[in-house]
């Protein structure tokens, strides 16, 4: 398996966060539109048997990784920072991998640090210290009988839109099988997604981004004995050391996109996943920089499209997890 890093620059608001499992779904649709259904079926052969053709990470600030889902007691304390300030430090710079894991929190950054607001008196007070800001967008449906909005299905409503700060570019890492799909094809597929739009409300202009290649070596730590995940994944039943694995779970209420929404039932079976930033300790380190499992197939995820699969894999960074916590 080979690796690739892409720089994504948001051009519009987004209706959905740029998460790896959702990006994988749109990559599959992009394959179908550009190369045809037969090529997609070939690429998905063996997907649930540990042989994915591509594994996509979340889009993170360029040059940073998510802070591992470890308790704060696993890190050395940050001098002069209270607990609230410490918990805002979500991002670990790639340079921190040269230091032991307990020192990572001292080198970590908050959203405000990344966009240059922390301690900068020249920035306007209304400037947001978050990398993504949610804004409500009004919507309405017009009744053809009355020509106006109304009650029930025609009542006005709002949906939240995500606006990414323009100061920070995003990096999306990809693990792929170069014998089945080429680097140029992956980049083209991401460009297709960026042009058509990603996620919810792409049909009305949301989710557009530009794509640029990034020259980056895959990050790693010496003497690695654990994995830091870069996307939601499904660790269930894979034999990870429960005493040395840390993660935050969430329920993915998946929906079909693209042409499948016209088939009558866009909803998929809910899945329990571990968020990006999980620390998973396998009995043996993986040979390729991804971990997890492929989900679905045989109608287990969707009755509308029985062959539907979901990315329960995640690109991962090999790290060294100390045997004992830092006091």
Question: Which of the two residues, 262 and 51, has the higher pLDDT score?
Answer: 51
Q: What is the pLDDT of residues 275-303, one digit of tens each?
A: 999 999 999 999 999 999 999 988 888 88
Measured at the CA of 68, the angle between CA 242 and CA 90, to 5 degrees, comes to 150
Helix (H) or strand (E) holding 20, with range, is helix 20-35
Residue 323, pLDDT > 90, answer no
What is the average pLDDT across 154-167?
Answer: 83
The reported pLDDT for the residue numbered 134 is 83
Q: What is the mean pLDDT of the chain?
A: 88
3-state secondary structure 173-190: EEEECCCCCCHHHHHHHH
Q: Which residues lie below 8 Å from residue 286, measured CB to CB, with a gap of 6+?
A: 227, 316
The reported pLDDT for the residue numbered 81 is 80
Helix (H) or strand (E) holding 317, with range, is strand 309-319
For the purposes of burial, counting CB atoms within 10 Å of the CB of 144, is it exposed (0-12), middle (13-18) or buried (19 or more)? exposed
Q: What is the pLDDT of residues 56-105, one digit of tens each?
A: 999 999 999 999 999 988 899 888 788 888 888 999 999 999 999 999 99
Are the C-beta atoms of residues 250 and 273 closer than 8 Å to each other? yes
Distances, alpha carbon 67 to alpha carbons 87, 281, 312, in Å: 10, 16, 20
% of the chain with per-residue pLDDT over 70? 94
**Largest Cα span, the chain:** 69
Residue 255, pLDDT > 70, answer yes
Are the C-beta atoms of residues 249 and 275 closer than 8 Å to each other? yes
> In the structure encoding, which two tokens stand for residue 1, read together?
């398996």
Indicate yes or no: pTM above 0.95: no
48, 311, 310, 297: which is closest to 174 by C-alpha? 311
155, 203, 160, 181: which is closest to 52 by C-alpha? 181
> In the structure encoding, which two tokens stand for residue 271, read together?
């899945």
For the purposes of burial, counting CB atoms within 10 Å of the CB of 173, is it exposed (0-12), middle (13-18) or buried (19 or more)? buried
Q: What is the dihedral of CA 277, 64, 87, 114, to 10 degrees?
A: -150
Q: Which residues lie below 8 Å from residue 217, measured CB to CB, with a gap of 6+?
A: none
The reported pLDDT for the residue numbered 125 is 44
């Amino acid at each position: 398996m080979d690796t690739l890093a892409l720089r994504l620059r948001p051009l519009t608001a987004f209706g959905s966060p740029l998460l790896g499992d959702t990006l994988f779904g749109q990559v599959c649709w992009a394959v179908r539109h550009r190369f045809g259904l037969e090529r997609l079926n070939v690429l998905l052969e063996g997907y649930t048997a540990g042989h994915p053709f591509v594994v996509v990470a979340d889009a993170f600030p360029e040059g940073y990784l998510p802070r591992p889902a470890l308790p704060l007691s696993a890190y050395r304390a940050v001098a002069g920072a209270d607990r609230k300030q410490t918990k805002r430090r979500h991002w670990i710079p790639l340079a921190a991998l040269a230091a032991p894991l307990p020192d990572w929190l001292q080198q970590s950054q908050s959203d405000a640090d990344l966009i240059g607001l922390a301690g900068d008196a020249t920035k306007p007070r209304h400037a947001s210290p978050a990398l993504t800001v949610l804004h409500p967008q009004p919507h309405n449906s017009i009744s053809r009988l009355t020509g106006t909005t109304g009650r029930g299905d025609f009542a006005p409503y709002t949906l939240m839109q995500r606006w990414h700060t323009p100061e920070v570019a995003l990096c999306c890492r990809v693990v792929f099988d170069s014998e089945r799909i080429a680097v140029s094809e992956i980049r083209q597929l991401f460009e297709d997604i960026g042009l058509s739009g990603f996620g919810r409300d792409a049909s009305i202009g949301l989710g557009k981004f530009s794509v640029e290649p990034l020259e980056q070596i895959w990050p790693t730590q010496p003497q690695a004995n654990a994995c830091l995940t870069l996307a939601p994944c499904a660790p269930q039943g894979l034999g990870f050391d429960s005493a040395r694995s840390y993660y935050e779970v969430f329920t993915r209420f998946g929906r079909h996109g693209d042409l499948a929404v016209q088939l009558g039932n866009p909803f998929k079976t809910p899945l329990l996943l571990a968020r990006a930033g999980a620390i998973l300790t396998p009995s043996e380190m993986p040979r390729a920089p991804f971990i997890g499992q492929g989900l679905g197939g045989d109608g287990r995820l969707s009755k509308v499209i029985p062959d539907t699969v979901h990315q329960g894999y995640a690109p991962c960074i090999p790290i060294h997890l100390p045997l004992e916590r830092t006091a």
